[in-house]
Structure 1
């Protein structure tokens, strides 16, 4: 209580001739009234309002007005009767500070104070209710507010109860019980006293709010922002802090922004807050909008904190502003790095063979083949259909096709020229390197076991040759030349196979089943005599073959006596 204005008021109440009076001052009482109602005030210290009229003097101090004496004429709208102050059909202008001085003796007095605030009916809200009943339980004891009940008792008035402006029949006592409450029982309960003064009826009311405390879920969660915010310098920026508070939230929930390390308003920042509860989910979301009139360079160095709180907990999250102008170089650099990586991947994919062949001479011997095998590849060439029929003594009805045989001979010459002469690989070519007098089957097995790769060369075929050549397998030594290498590939997975198709490919139906299986897994390399530059080691075809060959050529041991292969016109006797 502020005693300084009371001291001044007490001094003003005493004339100069009574300065020696000793007066006791009582606490100020505050009441809020609704416009149009009436009120009787009796200081709480007085048990009987019918104290001699002449011992009381009432004064009114209104805002902006001189102190006036309250009359005792009961026909006046505002008057007093002894220690009782009557305010009938009050208006907003009746608000003010009222003081009563009671002269006890010629040397002593007592001062009583009351502050009256009259509100428009449309502005009356929960803050002016006489408390709320929100305790748990399904039964509630509702009591008429004391100021209303006391007026009814003193003036012999009649009580009635209303719920949300609807009369409750039969409810006329000062207290009542509400049993087995349901959500429909929530609302504003108003106790109304109707009393008579000087043959006129007046009313005084007091309200309480009844709420049912539902089970609620408090789960503070910051919905926005979810990440740091980017902006241009010099523009207006709105920052949204949204906090999910929970469902059926009775406690208070709020969201707010804190700029920097300290709370408080700052120039150039405007914050607005709002709390919204959606229906029927009863989910509550609190929102705080911080408007920055003009983003400055200092804002990029400031921490912004989004804070959500209720009666139980508080959650917060830091955010910073980043300049979009500063992000542009980083974005361009990131795009450049991505493009560079994609280009590198494409280049490596396209030029894998060239890069590998370029680096092979510089690889240390430790990563090269360390086996003691004698040959880098075992070469099997398929006999062209025309040559095969001729070798078997079968005559064509017309002129036999000779292109297939020529193409196979041309390829065989290039094979030796590129891989053996230019690249220094050691090859074992069937029919060329067979040793006279040695058992053929043993020689094939021995040579394959001493080889690192198996090169299978398929002869060109045409539809006419496919029709003329019987694809039924023949049990002969030439067929064994196919079966032994293919069997070795299946039983020795570490031996790689290089498949080469010379010229036009057929349907491969005439080939052994094992070879067709290998063709289904790996497409053969295509060699065509019409392709320009195929006779050099740097052509695309021979680069692909070299890529599949061993990294280092085999170290061939010195030939022993009688170990030299046949060096005549071996391609003239191609047989399979």
Structure 2
């Protein structure tokens, strides 16, 4: 009765798996991902093949997974599905394919289709090559030209079975049972083909599988000093409290297998193997020994502590250090950027405010070093309306021309100005005089008054001065014009067109009554547009003015 119930349960399990697999396999709309690179297995006829899925995760994670195995027929893209009946010579059980008593017709490409989630699958391909007898193509990875102390059997890794070793196809006497064949005092006589024959059992039937390696010994095989591949000594790993951190230490000991080699992690001199919160994993491949330390949750004591990876062989012990540190706060960086921006703004503001003073200072130095004569007699020719003005405007113009203009520009800064009524002689031809003096002037100062217009002063002497000055400035390009406005309001529409054009190109300098200090911003702007005065003339005029008017500098 019990046997019948067990058989029923097995039949139900098989049918359930078949339905699940069929549902996956029949879903033709799903395109499986292509897995790792195609692998090749060389086997001998008459033996049996235990072929797990080539991917380790595919092989191990069988829970909530389903598998379908196919064989790709030669010279076509057609796939032949492999069954799960264990009574068949070729069948599969979940992630493992069994081919019992291999023959030459079993050569071909075998495909593993792994369904790891609903509608998600991966395909892996393995080429199986069946040889009738021994061939060099059956050799697994050739052992390096060093002196190994043991050889590992390349088959039956995941199958329980007994292993027997042969050298050059002769039984090795007095061998120890196990996957590893120990070679005592390896020498050139140890060279040859080593074959392990594994006898394993499937459904009560004993089967065999074999694998061969060739061993060649270099004349003088010796292991070198251990060398750290990872990490770099005194390196820093950025981490925060509560993070999971993985530290990888990889050491190359040479191709010779070292029985006394070891790699482990320490923190502040304390071995971390077995401590709570710290997990170490150890792996050895082709002369490289790795120790991977996983810190589940970084603590405050871990931050700043010294982690050492120690490597030891039979002759020496070496180590590298790693330190965990908090991520640097961005606040100091932001503060530094903000301070730098403030400094730039401050420097820019100061430079803009004192740019005029700096230019005037540098120009004086340049004139002292590189001054030369240009044949001019006057620094500026002053044009202003002298007639048809009301009493208030006339007084303002007179105070500015005979007061501030002469006091600051001539008496303080040493400029030489031509002013009508002061520098012309009675009886001179006004037209010839005007043209000649303007031609001998470096600048043309035009004073704009609120009551001035082209209509009122069209026949006045100053109108001719303005006409000649504008002609030379606009047509001939010199002298340069400096416009000074006296008062707040000015009707530009009633001014001559040439003067309107100059006002459109450049705003006039506004003078306010009482602005007589030579160091005021208005006079600095006037000096900026004036040519550089002779330093000798300026020093002499300044000394003379200071003696007569000591309060002018205020």
- What TM-score does the superposition give when structure 1 sets the normalisation length? 0.43
Structure having the higher Rg: 1
